[in-house]
A and B are shown apart, each in its own frame.
Chain A
Amino acid sequence: MNYLDNIAFAILLVLGIGFFVKNVKKLTRNIKLGKDVNRTDNSKARWKNMVMVAIGQSKMVKRPIAAILHIIVYVGFIIVNIEVIEILIDGLFGTHRILSFLGGFYNFLIASFELLAFLVLVSVTIFWLRRMVLRIPRFWNKEMKGFPKNDALYILYFEMVLMSLFLIMNATDIHFQEMNSGNLISQFLVPIFDGFSVESLHLIERTAWWIHIIGILIFLNYLYYSKHLHILLAFPNTFYANLNVIGKLDNLESVKNEVKLMLDPDADPYAAVPETENDVPEKFGASDVTDLNWVQLMNAYTCTECGRCTSSCPANQTGKELSPRAIMMKTRDRLEEVGNNIDKNGKFIDDGKQLLNDYITPEELWACTSCNACVEECPVNIDPLSIIIDMRRYLVMEESSAPQELNMMMTNIENNGAPWQYNQMDRLNWKDE
């Protein structure tokens, strides 16, 4: 008996999973670079949100064709991967189809895997056609050039290859085909291999088996670098999502204390500032990823770049620079850069760059109407608007660099309690006009 196969398999498995764990650690470290925000309240509503939105895909149905195709790939992905359990056992112990002792039930399982593999293959092909032949506009916005475009295609090719390998592996398994049960789809592939010798068939079957499992391990490790992380992060992302009505923006706590002090007639303006451990005053708003909270950073990693947000954005629809998807992609790119900087230097060394200006421009930020269409559309509860508002806060409160017309509007509110130059004493004049 030759144990070489089993040892090679075990080594591959350890490498594949080890590398994946390393990336997951890096991922959580990067997310934790964000500021703290309490999202552990109301856990019942959070579980419900996760079950409905992530598991139940409730927000996908708004676009029914994509929703049906996606649910096939989603269910197929989970169920076909049950087969991986058998592959793992077979690979480690040198057995062949170890679970076949289950008899009829085994054949039923394999038959359903085959059916789903076939449906996934069809759906993924339609996905490819939608992208590359129908050229649905949201896949062709300008932020989708280069890697983001290829990334999406690699994933589709990966799934096509993995599903095909699974069916080929079954079709060339002589013993499995002889049972003629459970080979629901693979039986139709058998004629392709007519006239092949037993040895060649065995070789093809083994090759397909090996490439299939190696492919899965590569796919697992590709996740971290790809938009496809949503298959893992959609769950925590919906769990920790904002549960308030989406019209509500947070009231900045740091501002609250200062405003209270300003309005308090008993406050002593000359009182010594209480000494704190950290003497640097808190920055208002966000100019870099570390000023955002960890949920916003997780949002960035969860984004799968489907572009529903951007396609529903009024600013984007009318040709403005702003694209909510690009806001998420740029946040992730900058976060990766900061993460790599830390990996290289042991801690973050100033690289003279930040999220504002180097990635996201004020022009994009000022084009937003805060209409919440992007937030409403996102199938995994990402909130691009919160990042836009936090960055506007930095522009206004730290840099005083709002567009001139907005400065005038704000001066008016300060002076006369209305965004226009009208006297507050004239507020009731309409009654007699």
Chain B
Amino acid sequence: MNVPTMAEMMAQGKQPEVLFWVGCAGSFDDRAKKITKAFVKILNAAKVEFAVLGTEESCSGDPAKRAGNEFLFQMQAMTNIEVLNAYEIKKIVTACPHCFNTLKNEYPELGGVYEVVHHTELLKSLVDEGRITIEGGEFKGKKITFHDPCYLGRSNDIYEAPRDLIKQLDVELVEMKHCKSNGLCCGAGGAQMFKDAEKGDKEINIERTEQAIEVNPDIIATGCPFCNTMMTDGVKITNNEEKVDVLDIAEIIAKNNKL
């Protein structure tokens, strides 16, 4: 796996096509690291000149901002912007919709103006440009449903890129009753990932998993490391582990292309 850092690139006097913003989950969470690696394998296969910040990357500040800690958010944002601007970054791709939303929408006012794309958007353009082809039929005939991450879908109106990718796989894309702008949250957003839920009669991720199980999928596809964790837990708790896999779009494509 070839993962150059910005510092290395700079030393060679090179500027990458795109910076891959890995995010905290993608860097540290065991499940999310698999998504990160799958995405990197695709980037390598498509010969995309990318780089990561490595140890110079820090939390985007999203969970702090949504928990109400605007100070901490802006400290994180301004520090990150200094690093990004020093490297003269123009384009950023990330596999985390929370980082994506924050970098894309909340950084510009603070001095960080970049073209920010979600990894499903980048993968879609790689397919459209013919830099990768999705064939092989590893998933042929499987039923896949896509769970819309709130910060990708409702918050940024990106519904089609992940679906277009799934459709290329020769599979049956089935929609849950609540999908796209009506999609139900997995329960992790707004810093909920880091705390127990308030008192209620059900966990949100169980509710959402049940909605997914209703359409009888073989795979629940997501595009967010936090949704992935919540849905994976949901599938375990509802005893559907044997029946259903929870996979990121990048993992599905990497697996399909035997990367």
Which residues of A are in contact with B by a Cβ distance under 8 Å? 62, 244-249, 251-252, 255-256, 258-260, 262-263, 284-285, 312, 314-315, 317-322, 363, 366-373, 376, 389, 391-397, 402-403, 405-406, 408-410, 413-414, 417-420, 422, 424-431, 433
Selected contact of B37 from candidates A252, A263, A405, A430, CB within 8 Å: A430
Contact present for A420 and B24 (CB under 8 Å): yes
Report the bound CA distance from A244 to B24 in whole Å: 26
Q: A319-B200, A363-B198, A367-B197 are in contact. Are A413 and B189 (CB under 8 A)?
A: no
Contact present for B200 and A320 (CB under 8 Å): yes
Q: A314-B207, A413-B64 are in contact. Are A259 and B202 (CB under 8 A)?
A: no
Closest 8 CB pairs of A and B: A247-B155, A392-B68, A370-B190, A319-B201, A417-B58, A371-B185, A319-B200, A248-B105
Contact present for B150 and A428 (CB under 8 Å): no
Q: Which of A62, A258, A372, A397 has the most CB of B within 10 A?
A: A372
Interface string of B32-56 (1 = CB under 8 A from A): 0100110000000000000010110
Selected contact of B24 from candidates A314, A321, A418, A428, CB within 8 Å: A418
Say yes or no for B204: interface residue by CB 8 A criterion.
yes
A397 to chain B, nearest CB (A): 6
Q: Which of A251, A318, A321 has the most CB of B within 10 A?
A: A318
Question: CB-nearest residue of chain A relative to B101?
Answer: A247
Q: A255-B71, A428-B52, A431-B1 are in contact. Are A369 and B65 (CB under 8 A)?
A: no
A423 to chain B, nearest CB (A): 9
Beyond A258-B71, A429-B27, 8 extra complex contacts between A and B, CB < 8 Å: A314-B208, A369-B204, A373-B154, A392-B67, A395-B68, A406-B194, A418-B27, A430-B22
Contact present for B198 and A428 (CB under 8 Å): no
Name the B residues within 8 Å of A285 (CB-CB). Answer: 68, 70
- Give the residues from 140 to 158 in chain B that come closer than 8 angstroms, CB to CB, to chain A: 150-151, 154-157
Residue pairs across A and B with Cβ atoms less than 8 A apart, 25 shown, are A245-B155, A247-B101, A248-B106, A259-B71, A262-B75, A263-B75, A314-B184, A320-B197, A369-B192, A371-B190, A372-B155, A392-B68, A393-B70, A402-B67, A402-B69, A413-B61, A414-B75, A417-B59, A418-B58, A418-B59, A427-B28, A428-B3, A429-B27, A430-B27, A430-B28
Report the bound CA distance from A420 to B32 in whole Å: 14
Name the A residues within 8 Å of B71 (CB-CB). Answer: 255, 258-259, 397
Q: A320-B199, A418-B27, A419-B24 are in contact. Are A247 and B151 (CB under 8 A)?
A: yes
A375 to chain B, nearest CB (A): 8
B123 to chain A, nearest CB (A): 19
Interface string of B199-213 (1 = CB under 8 A from A): 111111001100000
Q: Which of B69, B106, B199, B203 has the most CB of A within 10 A?
A: B69
Name the B residues within 8 Å of A397 (CB-CB). Answer: 68-71
How many residue-residue contacts, CB under 8 A, span A and B? 209
B60 to chain A, nearest CB (A): 10
Say yes or no for B128: interface residue by CB 8 A criterion.
no
Contact present for B200 and A318 (CB under 8 Å): yes
Name the A residues within 8 Å of B156 (CB-CB). Answer: 245, 247
Report the bound CA distance from A247 to B149 in whole Å: 12
Contact present for B154 and A318 (CB under 8 Å): no
Report the bound CA distance from A389 to B66 in whole Å: 7
Name the A residues within 8 Å of B65 (CB-CB). Answer: 249
Contact present for B195 and A406 (CB under 8 Å): yes
Selected contact of A427 from candidates B54, B74, B79, CB within 8 Å: B54
Report the bound CA distance from A319 to B58 in whole Å: 35
Contact present for A418 and B28 (CB under 8 Å): yes
Contact present for A428 and B54 (CB under 8 Å): yes
Question: CB-nearest residue of chain B relative to A404?
Answer: B195
We find that the number of chain B residues with CB closer than 8 angstroms to chain A is 70
Name the B residues within 8 Å of A317 (CB-CB). Answer: 184, 204, 207
Contact present for A430 and B192 (CB under 8 Å): no
Say yes or no for B133: interface residue by CB 8 A criterion.
no
Report the bound CA distance from A87 to B54 in whole Å: 76
Name the A residues within 8 Å of B15 (CB-CB). Answer: none
Report the bound CA distance from A317 to B200 in whole Å: 9
Say yes or no for B110: interface residue by CB 8 A criterion.
yes
Report the bound CA distance from A246 to B156 in whole Å: 7
Q: Which of A256, A417, A426, A429 has the most CB of B within 10 A?
A: A417
Report the bound CA distance from A121 to B177 in whole Å: 33
- Give the residues from 189 to 245 in chain B that come closer than 8 angstroms, CB to CB, to chain A: 189-204, 207-208
Q: A255-B70, A368-B190, A376-B181 are in contact. Are A245 and B57 (CB under 8 A)?
A: no
Report the bound CA distance from A260 to B55 in whole Å: 23
Selected contact of A403 from candidates B55, B109, B195, CB within 8 Å: B195
Q: A262-B75, A371-B189 are in contact. Are A402 and B198 (CB under 8 A)?
A: no
Report the bound CA distance from A314 to B59 in whole Å: 26
Say yes or no for B257: interface residue by CB 8 A criterion.
no
Q: Which of B101, B150, B181 has the most CB of A within 10 A?
A: B150
Contact present for B188 and A369 (CB under 8 Å): yes
B27 to chain A, nearest CB (A): 5
